[in-house]
Amino acid sequence: MSEEMALFTKTEETDGLLPEDMYESETEKYLIFLSNDIFYGVNADYVVDIITEVSITWLPMLPPHIRGVVNLRGQIVPIIDFRRLLGQPPKNNDCIVVLDFEETKIGILVDTVDQMVDVEKGTILSVPYQNTQDMQKIISGMYSLPEGGGTLMVLDCALLLHGR
């Protein structure tokens, strides 16, 4: 956790101090997390926090993929169970990536957070048409990690929030 946080903070600093570098290399930072042994990436611009060991308050009358809400420093943030969202069996996991997309905060419950990667712009490929509708709803692209690190599914925040 502390390592992840350090990594995360460092990125933010780089963003703030050296924006020119970003443009030169034309890369975007993506945070990689794991859910059900699949790598997902989310644009680090939207990531505001990574929290663990927080108690989620269940709310009634909601679809199963919404686990409830958490108290994030006085703010009420809804939590989406990423496994449930994709129709997979839930697990006793407690790692939450908090996203802030267009003024809306939302937490996604994932298995673990992996690392931060630089992704060159334009190298994210589109998703081939599949029958797995659940995936289509929230994944907007795919990217091959360097050195055979596997394939990254790129999470689309807009689809996640409004694509229901």
Partner 1 sequence: MGNDMMEAYLYEMNTLLEQLDELVLSAEKAECFSQDDVNEIFRIMHTIKGSSAMMEYNSLMTIAHRVEDLFFIIRDKTMAVISEELRPELFELIFQSIDFFRSEIEKVEKNEPLTEYIDNILENINRFANKIQPQEGAENQAGDQKAAAGQAASDAAGESGDSTGQAGTDVEFQSKEFPYGIHIFLDEGSGMENLRAFMLVNTVKDYCEEGQFDYYPPNVNTDPSAAAFIVEKGFVLRFLSEEEREKAIPAVTGNGSVREYQLFDYAEPAPAKESGADSTAQASDSQPQSAAAPKESAAAPDAQAGSKQPAQGQHIKESLISVNLSKLDQLMAVVGEIVITESMVTASPDLKGLKLDNFTQAARQLRSLTDNLQDISMSLRMVPVSATFQKMKRIVRDMGKKLNRPATLELVGADTEVDKTIVDSISDPLMHIVRNSMDHGIEETPEERIAAGKNPEGKIILAARHTGSEVIIEIIDDGRGADDDVILAKAIRQGLAQPGMNYSHQEILNFLLMPGFSTNTEVTEYSGRGVGMDVVKSNVENVGGTVFITSEKGKGMTTTLKIPLTMAIMDGMEVSVGSSIFTIPINNIRQIFKCSASEIIHDAVHGEMIKVMDNFYSIVRAKDFFQMEEGFDDFNKGILLWVESGDRSFCLFVDELVGEQQVVVKPLPNYVNEFGIKNFGVSGCTILGDGNISIILDIVNLYTAAQAC
Residue 158 lies near partner 1 (rule: CB under 8 A) = no
Q: Which of 25, 52, 71, 144 binds partner 1 (CB under 8 A)?
A: 71
Footprint (CB under 8 A) of partner 1, residues 50-69: 55, 57-63, 66, 69
Number of residues that bind partner 1 (CB under 8 A): 20
Residue 77 lies near partner 1 (rule: CB under 8 A) = yes
Are 7 and 15 in contact by the 8 Å Cβ rule? The answer is no
Based on CB atoms, which residue is closest to partner 1, 17 or 61?
61
Three-state SS letters, 43-84? EHHHEEEEECCCCCECCCCCCCCEEEEEEECCEEEEEEEHHH
Rounded to 5°, angle at Cα 64 from 63 and 70:
95
Nearest approach, Cβ of residue 63 and partner 1 (Å): 7
Nearest approach, Cβ of residue 55 and partner 1 (Å): 6
